[in-house]
Structure 1
């Protein structure tokens, strides 16, 4: 009966053809399955790490940008403050014209301080004057200003001279002919703007911050359409670079913040890594703890003495293996 089994073609086919093919196919299938699972796990791990890194990089970048924006708006003052000046005067009863100098009170701010301390400012008065015969014959006149703190305390005062720019008769004739269409249509007018610089480097005092300005034109014959007080910051040093080169300054500032924030983050990460849970440590790799060589030598000597007393065979390699197995729970 056993002989018949060996010569049975079905048995021979099953033992030498079908079973080897099934084993080979199963082995290949399991191998590809394991490789696929390992590949999927590797991709998941890679995506996980990439996601965490991208989140931290994005957070560090936004923190750097936020720090630069806060520093910019804290360190840089407003460039220009403009206030309209409404001139007032005392009119004459007996004759036509002004019986007092035109003056105005300009309230710069209702709060305690508008200008930044230790920052130079240029204070100028812009006069919009018509080119009338009276203004042309007026010549020079004085413009005075006083900067006062809260309660009317005088901080600084200044007086500057001003006058219309001279134009010859030929210049006036040619200009009138050329601009006659614009003058007739009302697009252009015969006027001049005088920029009178009252303070070149005015610095506000932190103890007496300026809140009001008083302007006076010391001429009763000056004809003025309107005037405006301009306070412009005069930047120097770092503020000059940040104002005139904003893109370069932003790139340097954000890069500097990014470097220091990244350095602080990396040092904090390595400092706090020992206190992380085990499942978090396993995501980023095992953390190896260094052992003191002196403690290891003392332990080897102690084990040798114990084995010598018990008359056991030992060698250094076996002791090192035991040490390795004893340290494995600590490394996980």
Structure 2
């Protein structure tokens, strides 16, 4: 029996092993949950930032459209009351106590500062007269209404005159109307009056050099009877202003969406430029910078080569002439020749390091420099061996170059 228990214990996992496996599983689950929590936290943070950016862009788009609408759209309607007065009441005539026509002066400035009418915008100016159906007005017939527009200096800019009268109604129609509306007339909710509309200007355009700040209305009749009067100024829009005024909701949606799209594209391009290294290939930019650096290094290498090719000794105040055999001895010529060859080899090595793949002019300059070095070396060689000077010999220089190469 004890043997069987020992076999079972040896076959199955121990409690310690189970505990180790269980703890490892818990640690693995904890790590997974931690990673998942960090991912969720990161996503939530990114979503919150994105929502804030979108809300900010939407607010900026609405603000831009509102600013554009406020600055672009002029005043559409303007209504102001007109109060008539008489300039003279001291008449000497016993039949008339009023010697002047009724007049009214009103301002065309909003709050005394901002002008009502915008420059270049046509306006319709209409006078509304509320007149009773009295016998005096019926007997008055036609009368004249005149309007004077003036500037800051009090100068009259424009004048308009229109005639009007009460609408005609027969005595029978007046009697029937009075009988029908008698309850309302008795209670005071209705009155026997007419509204007369006088269109003074159909398309008035304000002058930018002499803006209109006020107007005077004068009625050429001493017996006219008026309850009250008002001036209506209505703008006649065209083009974009017509669409913005008659379709405000559609215009607002299109304008806000356009601003939002434009701002979103700008933010997206900025994000790509900062986060992803730009939308242009970096290799192409590096190639342009490398080409620019190579072109800047070419003049420096050329100047260094010319300096090494023509050395001068300024310390003694005398110059060494390479082609004068009487000044330089054979040993000096040989030493100078060997030093010159080493220097020319070093200079040629410097030239070979310059990139001349895309510049044909630089390649031609290099060939010319090599030819000059070779010619100088040949002259020194001929002088050291006692041969005639190549520059004074009419024979072709290629012969001496070939002979020297064969002898060497």
TM range (shorter): 0.7 to 0.9
Q: CA deviation at 1:201?
A: 0.8
| Gap runs ≥5 in structure 1 | 276-286, 296-332
Asked if the contact 1:149/1:210 (under 8 Å) is kept, the reply is yes
Partner residue, 1:218: 220
Partner residue, 1:282: none
C-alpha distance in structure 2 between counterparts of 1:107 and 1:51, whole Å: 53
Partner residue, 1:325: none
Q: CA deviation at 1:74?
A: 0.9
Partner residue, 1:49: 46
Bigger mean CA deviation after superposition, 53-62 or 218-227 = 218-227
Question: How many residues are matched?
Answer: 279
Quick one: which of 25, 31, 34 aligns to 2:31?
Answer: 34
1:267-308 per-residue CA deviation (whole Å, 9 max, x = no partner) reads: 222233379xxxxxxxxxxx9x9657x99xxxxxxxxxxxxx
Partner residue, 1:108: 108
Partner residue, 2:382: none
Q: In structure 2, do the counterparts of structure 1 residues 291 and 16 end up closer, same or farther at CA, with 3 Å as the change threshold?
A: farther
Q: CA deviation at 1:51?
A: 0.9
C-alpha distance in structure 1 between counterparts of 2:114 and 2:247, whole Å: 31
Q: Which has the higher contact order (CA 8 A, sep 6+)?
A: 1
C-alpha distance in structure 2 between counterparts of 1:111 and 1:155, whole Å: 19
C-alpha distance in structure 1 between counterparts of 2:262 and 2:25, whole Å: 53
C-alpha distance in structure 1 between counterparts of 2:10 and 2:134, whole Å: 123
Structure possessing the higher radius of gyration over alpha carbons: 2
C-alpha distance in structure 2 between counterparts of 1:23 and 1:290, whole Å: 53
Quick one: which of 111, 114, 133 aligns to 1:131?
Answer: 133
1:4-31 per-residue CA deviation (whole Å, 9 max, x = no partner) reads: 9x99949946972324422332232122
C-alpha distance in structure 2 between counterparts of 1:175 and 1:220, whole Å: 29
Asked if the contact 2:131/2:195 (under 8 Å) is kept, the reply is yes
Matches within 5 A, 1:215-294: 215-273=217-275
| Secondary structure, counterpart of 1:25 in structure 2 | helix
Q: CA deviation at 1:96?
A: 3.8
Partner residue, 1:77: 74
Asked if the contact 2:75/2:116 (under 8 Å) is kept, the reply is no
Partner residue, 2:197: 195
Q: CA deviation at 1:68?
A: 0.6
Asked if the contact 2:108/2:115 (under 8 Å) is kept, the reply is no
Q: In structure 2, do the counterparts of structure 1 residues 112 and 63 end up closer, same or farther at CA, with 3 Å as the change threshold?
A: closer
| Secondary structure, counterpart of 1:16 in structure 2 | coil
Partner residue, 1:178: 180
C-alpha distance in structure 2 between counterparts of 1:88 and 1:124, whole Å: 20
When normalised by structure 2's length, the TM-score is 0.63
Q: In structure 2, do the counterparts of structure 1 residues 266 and 106 end up closer, same or farther at CA, with 3 Å as the change threshold?
A: same
C-alpha distance in structure 2 between counterparts of 1:85 and 1:291, whole Å: 76
C-alpha distance in structure 1 between counterparts of 2:155 and 2:261, whole Å: 48
Asked if the contact 2:145/2:220 (under 8 Å) is kept, the reply is yes
| Gap runs ≥5 in structure 2 | 288-408
C-alpha distance in structure 1 between counterparts of 2:175 and 2:269, whole Å: 78
Asked if the contact 1:111/1:211 (under 8 Å) is kept, the reply is no
Quick one: which of 162, 165, 178 aligns to 1:163?
Answer: 165
C-alpha distance in structure 1 between counterparts of 2:124 and 2:175, whole Å: 36
